[in-house]
Each structure stands twice: as structure tokens, then as C-alpha cells.
Structure 1
């Protein structure tokens, strides 16, 4: 009979051997990481988000075909705002404003829409906010992001609660002229009158819009897209997020 002490030593040695084998990928090794989780982590790790000190605010939104895209999420609350960046920017372009909205009680999501499937990404961002508990969802886009915002909102069911397009071209990887002919939700079109042809685009989209609650804002400015924000336009955006029907009552300004 093996003494109890010797049996205990043998048991400990066997356990150590099994642990070493597991660490080397031998029998008894840990199960591989879930492929879907690994893919999501890869999206976060490689996201173009140099505005963040860490990856904490990053989430992954999944669109049609299970395509995954990184997005910066900030804030909480039952009103969500999707923020769509310009072609010359990244999701970081909206991060400062996302924090402003978050401080005011809004849940914000700024996805990376650099890919050609930007409309699908925007729709996935809308769905993500709803899944997170947002009862109302708005879409705010700048330049190309404004075009994408209008197209995505027109193709989303149930409809979003409102759209704001800043310096949006009529066509840029999506056709906003087609979108506004079916988009009946409250909508704001804004541009600077010294910003090339963009005020003409805003006027055209406004005239084609079928929404009964729409507003055209042309500012005396050469600012473009996100740069338009500031002053009374910030107040208009916040009023729109609170009551889009009242905020669009002015029609043109």
C-alpha cells in the first residue's frame, strides 16, 4: 500500500504535468476562443480611433451579411443619435460632439462609414441603438455622411424619428434625391452659402423632400459639414432631438 504522503505527492505531480500539457496545447488544453468574439475583438483592435485613450468606448455593429464595423458609443438614455462622419474624417470626427450630447442625456453612436456599404452600416447603427434600449433614434450626418444618413433613414423600418443633413451632396455613394422622395420623417437640411455648390444641394433636397416637417437652414458661412455646428445651430439640433416637429416649423431660415 502506498503511504498517504507519497500518494499526495504523486497526485500533485500529475496535476502539474497536466497543467503544463494544457499550456503547451496538449491534451486537456483550453478550448479555442469563440471565432465570432475573436472577430469582434479584431475589429476593435484595428479600428481607426486615435482620439481614444483606450478602446473602452468602442463597440461593434453588425450589418447585413454579418459584416462588422467599429463604432464609438457614448452616453445613455432612451434617445439615440447616430453620427455619420465626412469622407475626409473618421468616427473620431464626431467624438467631441458625441460627448456633448452624452452629457445632455443622449446615447450616441458614431460608426466607421469609410466603406462603400456605408448605408448598411448606418442601418446597423440604428438597429444597434434600438437593441440597446433607445426608444427614439435620430441620424445626424455631415457631408457624405449626410447623404448616407438620408439614404439609410429612407430604407429603415420602423422609421427613425428624424434626420439632420449638414452640407449633404445630392449623390455620394448613395442617392439622397431618391431617398428624400420617400423619407417622411422630420428632416433638417443645412449648409453654408459660401460653401461651393452645397447650399444648392441643400435647397434641391429640401424641395424634393416629401416630409411635412422639414427645415432648410442656409447660414452665411463657408463652413462645411461638422464645422457648421456652433451657435444657434447647436440650439436647433438640441431642440430637434427634443421635439422634431416644433423644431422644423420655421420651414426655411
Structure 2
């Protein structure tokens, strides 16, 4: 019996030694990062039909770790957040974002279709700063303009400037309250043949406490993103270079 017991013990020891040797030679697989997996799902399912691939798509982490897709292109110290209209997606800004990238800017156009658009915008601003942007300017069209003003007013440290094209006073956020406490260079733009959006722009301009601000009203039916052409586009591009000087300069028209 003793011989059998000794042999059995030897067999167990050999098995354990072999198992230990295998463990030393094979690394355990790294656990999956659930955050990275969720981020990839947001990127893969983004509804941006202007893109042929997912290359320019990023995921913004917002309030309560909720993630939102955004188009992001370009590099540089100055970043521009582009907020789309209620009837569109971030693709409304894709062509302009590419233009900005060619000029040495970072451009981010997030999906702001959700009810937490202000928080999404703030998260985008924070992510751009984390990634190295030293200056951030927010541009929004229609409802995106209202969101731009509200998000800028709620962001600390403050952004470097805001442009609102055809922004309603209230639409998904309260721009009236925002401009009454937003002291950053601001440009408000609207067409006077575009329903009552010129009246909204004038009201926001009158309430704005910004030391450097400009009101641009054109005889035009164009709305939101479609206003961005000719001298208005030139003004916006100049604003990215020097918000203060551009906001203080007389309207060229």
C-alpha cells in the first residue's frame, strides 16, 4: 500500500509541475475593456451618410458616461465645434470641416439630435481640450446656434468665441438666458427674409453682455448653414484667427 501511495503522490506532483510550466509559457488574455467596446459600437453605428468609412468618426463621452458620435478632422491648436440644424446631421458641416482642416484647424461636428445637446457640446469641448486644443470656438446653425450659445455660457473655462447662424432665442435650450451671462466674442447672423430669425438675432444681440460682439443681418432667405458663403464665410474664417478684432470690426456689407 505504501508503494502505491508514493507512486500516486509522484503522479500528482508531476501533473501539477506540468500545469505550472504551461502557465508560465502562456499569458492570460487581457480582460476586454467595456468602455472601448462601447465606444467602438458608437463609431460603427454612427448615422453619417456623407462618409465612405468610419475614419473621421469619434465617440464623445458625455454626462453619465453616455457616448455620442461625432465627425472629427484636422489638427492644430485651435478647434472648432460645429453644431448642425434640427433637420440634419453632422454631415451638414462636413464640407466646411474639411475646409477648416485644410487651413490647420481641428473641426468636430457632433450629433446633437438628442435632448442633451448642450451637455454633448460641452463634452466635445472638453474632449478637444484634453486632446491638446488651446483655443475652442463654437459655431452653430439654427437650433445648433441656440445650443452653441447655451453650451458656451455653461462651459468653464470659457470658450474663445461663438458664432450663431439663424439661432432661435429658445429651441432645445434658452439662448436668451445664455447671452445675458456669456462674455466671449460673439457673432449673430441671420437673413431678414428668413421668417423671424433676424428678429431673434437682434433680440439676442441686444441682451448680450459680450464686450466684443457683432450683428450681421443680410437681405436673404438663406437659413443656418446656407448663410455661410461670400463675405459671411470670410468673416467667420477671420473670426477663427482673431475673435476680438473680427467681432469689433464694422460689418463689411
Deviation at 1:63, TM superposition (A): 1.2
Other-structure match for 1:204: 203
Q: Corresponding residue for 1:150?
A: 149
State the alpha-carbon separation in 1 of the partners of residues 31 and 41 from structure 2.
15
- Matched with 1:168 is 167
Instruction: Extract structure 1 runs of 4+ deviating beyond 6 A.
Output: none
Deviation at 1:250, TM superposition (A): 3.4
Match of 2:119 in 1: 120
Q: 1:161 to 1:172 in 2, by over 3 A?
A: same
Q: What residue number does 2:13 align with?
A: none
Provide structure 2 residue ranges, at least 5 long, that are not aligned to the other structure: 1-21
Shift of 1:33: 2.7
Please give the TM-score of this superposition, normalised by the length of structure 1: 0.87
Per the alignment, residue 107 of structure 1 pairs with 106
Q: Deviations over 1:130-159 (max 9, x none)?
A: 011110000000000000000000000000
**Alignment length (residue pairs):** 228
Shift of 1:161: 0.2
TM-score (norm 2): 0.87
CA shift for structure 1 position 31: 5.2
CA contact 1:166–1:226 (8 Å) conserved in 2: yes
Say yes or no: does 1:61 pair with 2:60: yes
Unaligned runs of 5+ in 1: 1-17, 19-27
Which residue matches 1:15? Answer: none
Shift of 1:30: 4.7
The higher radius of gyration belongs to 2
Q: Does 2:66 correspond to 1:80?
A: no
Pairwise CA distance, 1:32: 5.3
Is 1:47 aligned to residue 15 of structure 2? no
SS of equivalent to 2:71: strand
Residues 32-41 or 174-183, more deviating: 32-41
* Partner residue, 1:12: none
Hey, what does 2:12 align to over in structure 1?
none
Distance, in Å, in 2 between the alignment partners of 1:48 and 1:135 is 29
Write the distance in 1 (CA, Å) between the matches of 2:143 and 2:206: 19
**Alignment partners' CA distance in 1, 2:29 and 2:248:** 62
The root-mean-square deviation of aligned C-alpha atoms, in Å, is: 1.6
Structure 1 residues 22-69: Cα deviation after superposition (integer angstroms, max 9, x where no partner): xxxxxx985553211111011111111111110011111111211111
User: Which residue in 1 is equivalent to 2:34?
Assistant: 35
